[in-house]
Structure 1
Amino acid sequence: MRVVMFGYQTWGHRTLKALLDSEHDVVMVVTHPQSEHAYEKIWSDSVAELAEEHGVPVVIRNRPDDDELFQRLKEADPDIIVANNWRTWIPPHIYTLPRHGTLNVHDSLLPKYAGFSPLIWALINGESEVGVTAHMMDEVLDAGDIVRQEAITVGPTDTATDLFHKTVDLIAPVTIGALDLIAAGQTEFAKQDRTQASFFHKRAEEDIRINWDWPADVLARLVRAQSAPYPAAFTFHRGKRLEVLSAVVSEGVYGGTPGRIFYREGEGVAIVAGADARTGRNHGLAITRVRTEDGRELPATEYFKSMGGYLTDRP
């Protein structure tokens, strides 16, 4: 089939590579301009450069809603558009233009975790599986019929970085597998159960601030979800920002006030956690490694010279 690809960053790059390696003919690529946004500089392999290396025409757009782009798309005469990590709304006259419509590739197990940063949100929420879904685009974001979907298990110590590397390897088989079904004439696909749908916003600074009222297991997953190269989860100690690079749920149960620097446990320092910590039934968050405001990384047992005092969500 003749394919136009809409995509950006490493997800789009992997999608384009899979298309170029397939029997399908990539006739045009549409991608975003390079961004200075913190999250968009992560996993930022260039779709434009890969397309140019293979002699594929490239169009750069923030939004795909101008007449010039529409005319170029009509001239390209695609059988299908394939989109992955396109960051702005694609209007109906664009996604319905090809004879087979538009296939969107999304890094979650839809209908759950539509929208942005699905792997990070899924890890924070303790999901047992994550994956990649190829679905037909319609008027509701990430809500169209599912053509193909594959899942991987979330391990007990997996970070968001680990899950990125595992799911990005699913892009090629999911995308090409879906295209092969469409090329073979299949037109009926699985409807999404909209009662199970969830929709998440982009990650921002506020979303990595540690709230000590959260249970320790959720905080431990937040720390894993904000693994390098993502910006680390942070708290404040004595008015200065302190990034938490690694942490686990404590073995012991600690009662008192959330955020209290309480007890040395193994290789970590246990912090009281949970809104109901006063009951004395909660495990704490055992912080094992931190980074200070001036960039020093060190074990928590070296940073916390003595017990007592509090970690807070504000200076």
Structure 2
Amino acid sequence: MRVVMFGYQTWGHRTLQALLESEHDVVLVVTHPKSEHAYEKIWSDSVAELAEENGVPVAIRNRPDDEELFQLLKEADADIIVANNWRTWIPPRIFNLPRHGTLNVHDSLLPKYAGFSPLIWALINGESEVGVTAHLMDDELDAGDIVVQRAVAVGPTDTTTDLFHKTVDLIAPVTIGALDLIASGQTEFTRQDRSQASFFHKRAEEDIRINWDWPADVLERLVRAQSAPYPAAFTFHKGKRLEVLSAVVSEGRYGGTPGRIFYGEGDGVVIVAGADARTGRNHGLAITRVRTQEGNEMGATEYFTSMGGYLSSRP
């Protein structure tokens, strides 16, 4: 099939690479300009460069809503558009333009975790598996019929970086498998159960601020979800920002006020956590490694030279 590809960052790069290595013919690539957004500089393999290296015409747009691009798409005469990590709305006159419409590739197990940063949100929420879904685009974002979906397990110590590497390897088989089904003439696919749908926003600074009212197991997953190269989860100690680079749920149960720097346990220092910590039934978060506001990394037992005092969400 003749394919137009919309995509950005490493997700788009992997999709384009899979298409170039397939029997399908990539006739045009549409991608975003480079960005300085903290999350968009991560996994930033260039779709434009890969296309140019392979002699594929490239159009660079923030939004696909201008007449010049629409004419390029009409002239491309594609059988299908394939999109992965396209960051803005694609209007119906574009996604319905090809004979087979538009196939969107999304890194979640739709209908759950539609929208942005699905791996981070899924890890924070304790999901047991994540994956990649190829679905046909319709008027509602990430809501069209599912063509192919594949899942991988979330391990007990996985970080978002680990999950990225697990799921990015699914892009090629999911994308090409879906295209092959469509090319074979299949037209009936799996409708999404919209009662199970959830939609998430982009990650921002506020989303990595530690709230000590959260349970320790959720905070431990937040720290793993914000592992390097993502911006680290942070708190404040004595008015200064302190990034938490690694942590585990404490073995013991600790009562008191959330945020209290309480007790040395193994290689960590336990912080009281959970809105009901006063009951004494909660585990704490044992911080094991931190980065100071000045950029110095060290073990928590080296940083916290004495117990007492509090960590807080604000200076």
Normalising by structure 1, we get a TM-score of: 1.00
Q: What amino acid maps onto 1:183 in structure 2?
A: A
1:117-173 CA distance string (max 9 Å, x none): 000000000000000000000000000000000000000000000000000000000
Tell me, which stretches of 5 or more residues in structure 2 are unaligned? none
Structure 1 residues 228-307: aligned runs within 5 Å: 228-307=228-307
* Cα distance in structure 1, aligned partners of 2:237 and 2:47: 42
Alignment of 1:54-203 (within 5 A): 54-203=54-203
Q: Hey, what's the Cα distance between the residues in 2 that align with 1:303 and 1:132?
A: 40
What number of residue pairs does the alignment pair up?
Answer: 315
1:33 paired residue number: 33
Amino acid at match of 2:65: D
Q: Which residue of 2 aligns with 1:311?
A: 311
Q: For 1:270 and 1:36, how far apart are their aligned partners in 2? A: 36
Partners of 2:166 and 2:298 in 1: how far apart?
A: 29
Per-residue deviation, 1:254 = 0.1
1:170 partner letter: L
Between the aligned residues of both structures, percent identity stands at 88
Give 1:234's aligned amino acid.
Answer: F
The two structures have a TM-score, normalised by structure 2, of: 1.00
Determine the C-alpha separation between the residues in 2 that align with 1:274 and 1:189.
Answer: 44
Cα deviations across residues 184-225 of structure 1 (Å, max 9, x unaligned)?
A: 000000000000000000000000000000000000000000
CA distance in 2 between partners of 1:70 and 1:189 (Å): 28
Is the partner of 2:188 in helix, strand or coil?
coil
What is the aligned partner in structure 2 of residue 24 from structure 1?
A: 24
**Offset, 1:111:** 0.1
User: What CA distance in whole angstroms lies between the structure 2 residues aligned with 1:73 and 1:304?
Assistant: 59
Amino acid at match of 2:169: D
2:271 & 2:74 partners in 1: Cα distance?
60
Counterpart residue number, 1:223: 223
Distance in 2, matches of 1:195 and 1:240, equals: 43
- CA deviation digits over 1:87-108, x for unaligned, max 9? 0000000000000000000000
2:84 is matched by which residue type in structure 1?
N
- For 2:173 and 2:101, locate their aligned partners in 1 and report how far apart those are by CA, in whole Å: 20
Q: Distance in 1 between matches of 2:277 and 2:36?
A: 40
1:242-279 C-alpha deviation (Å, 9 max, x unpaired): 00000010000000000000000000000000000000
Matched residue type, 1:314: R
- Residue deviations 1:20-79 (CA, integer Å, cap 9, x gap): 000000000000000011100000000000000000000000000111101000000000
Q: How far did 1:84 drift?
A: 0.2
Query: Which aligned runs of 4 or more in structure 1 are off by greater than 2 angstroms?
Result: none
